[in-house]
Amino acid sequence: MTTPFVSAALGAPVGYDIIGSPVGRLLLTGDGHALTGLYMMDANRHPATVGPGWVRRDGAFSEAAAQLGAYFAGDLTEFDLPLAPTGSAFQLAVWEELTRIPYGKTVSYGEIAAALGKSLVASRAVGLANGRNPISIIIPCHRVIGADGTLTGYGWGLDRKEWLLRHEGALTTEPAALW
């Protein structure tokens, strides 16, 4: 099995840009070759901020911005970008499994654990890894829900998770405007 991820460029300065979206401003980060982060800046619980030493690179993320624009317009269901998330081996395995969840579908934390060959007890660890996903939306952690079908745990706010799932057709009514 091949991983959907590439290795981050070691020692490369973190470049960033900020783009608008229907779920608020998005902070994109990268190493000049791959996307290393996609964070929601206007979230209440975990607002993203620009790190010290990061370099603004206006337009450097044009392909990511174009694909995100197509996704939000309803014209793109699968991203095709080089991604270089950084995490533990278990986190990377969880995030890789997230990339296999089809657009418009949801799975439970337990189903992710089972897909990784773990017991149901690993659901909590899957939830923690899910919550540390550095490339939200593109690595679709919003598609993971509780075993009983409830929307649970989303660091950027359950309102955004609900919006994304409605936008993808995983929930049955149209997404409401958030902003």
The pLDDT tens digits of the residues spanning 116-160 come to 999 989 999 999 999 999 999 999 999 999 999 899 888 888 999
102 in a domain, yes or no? Answer: yes
- 24 belongs to a structural domain: no
Q: Is residue 124 part of a domain?
A: yes
Neighbour count for residue 72 (Cβ, 10 Å): 16
Q: What range does the domain containing 104 cover?
A: 89-168
Question: What are 83's two structure tokens?
Answer: 């991604």
pTM over 0.85: yes
Domain contains 173:
no
Residue 178 lies in a domain: no
Longest dimension (CA), the chain: 45
The number of domains in the chain is 1
What tokens were used for 145? 């829900």
Q: What is the DSSP string of 85-121?
A: ----HHHHHHHHHHTTSPTT--EEHHHHHHHTT--GG
* 26 bridge partner residues: 19, 40
Residue 157 lies in a domain: yes
- Residue 8 within any structural domain of the chain: no
Instruction: List the CATH number of the domain containing 128.
Output: 1.10.10.10
pLDDT digits (tens, 9 = 90+) for 45-56: 666 889 999 999
What are the catalytic residues? 141
- Give the H/E segment covering residue 128: helix 123-131
Residues 81-92: tens digit of each pLDDT: 999 999 999 999
Quick check: 37 pLDDT over 70? yes
Whether residue 117 lies inside any domain: the answer is yes
Residue 152 burial class via C-beta count within 10 angstroms: exposed 0-12, middle 13-18, buried 19 and up: middle
Q: Taking the CB of residue 27, how many other CB atoms lie within 10 A of it?
A: 19
The model's pLDDT over 156-174, given as tens digits with 9 standing for 90+, comes to 889 999 999 999 999 865 4
pLDDT greater than 50 at residue 175: no
